[in-house]
Homo-oligomer: A and B are copies of this chain.
Amino acid sequence: MSAERPAPGTLRPRGRTERVRQAVIAATRAVLVEVGYEGLSIERVADKAGVAKSTVYRRWRDTAGLLMELLNEVVAVEIPLADTGTVDEDLRRLAVQISRFFTDHVAGSLVLALIAESVHNAPAAEGLREFWTRRNTQAAEIVHRAIARGELPEATDPVEVIRMIGAPLYYRLLVTHEPFDETVAERAAAAALAAARAGSLDQPSRTA
């Protein structure tokens, strides 16, 4: 909320740094499309981006770092957060957009690859935890607005409502491997709202 100025000395390289970032994101995406997750390497990405290998190593460290950078970009662009004036519609759109995200082969396989990686790779797991904490906090603005408008109980835990939107989709995608579509997504949104309205998604009690 405060007007932040870049720290001294960071202004000059800003343009180049951002250009490198965009080139590396585009290259990571292209390499994933061409050769898949198995073929992703720092070398291939640096080559395609026209950036020195050492730069990519220094800034992103490994393929998990590259995937996380791409994830940030892709989720922000492809799952925009709606503000339609009603929580039912905002959450319905969020659920539908998450389900569509996984019909896009690149974006979907990116998230799946990161999740598979995170099972055996603690830094990847920590990266995902940080990413989702930030992202779900942003998305929870939808629920904060709903509480302010009196659409949901004051005690509602906003982030828990957001978790309930994604959870049924990821459950099918990762655990049961059952198909899902927009009907499944809409049902997830409706269920989260019903649970919140019944007081089942309240903030955990501090005294418990």
Contact = CB atoms under 8 A, between A and B. Distances in A.
Contacts of A172: 163
Contacts of A136: 176
Contact of A171 (B170, B193, B195): B170
Contacts of A190: 195, 200
Interface in A145-179: 160, 163-164, 166-168, 170-172, 174-178
A102 interface: no
Interface residues of A, number: 45
A95 to B, nearest CB: 12
Contacts of A133: 176, 178
Interface stretch (A1-9, A26-34, A52-60, A110-118): A110-118
Contacts of A113: 119
A137 to B, nearest CB: 11
A115 B37 contact: no
B176 A174 contact: no
Interface string A106-129: 000000110110111000011011
Contact of A129 (B128, B170, B177, B198): B177
Contact of A164 (B119, B120, B191): B191
Interface string A172-204: 101111100001000100111111011111001
A174 B177 contact: no
Closest 8 CB pairs of A and B: A194-B198, A191-B195, A167-B171, A132-B176, A116-B119, A129-B177, A167-B167, A194-B200
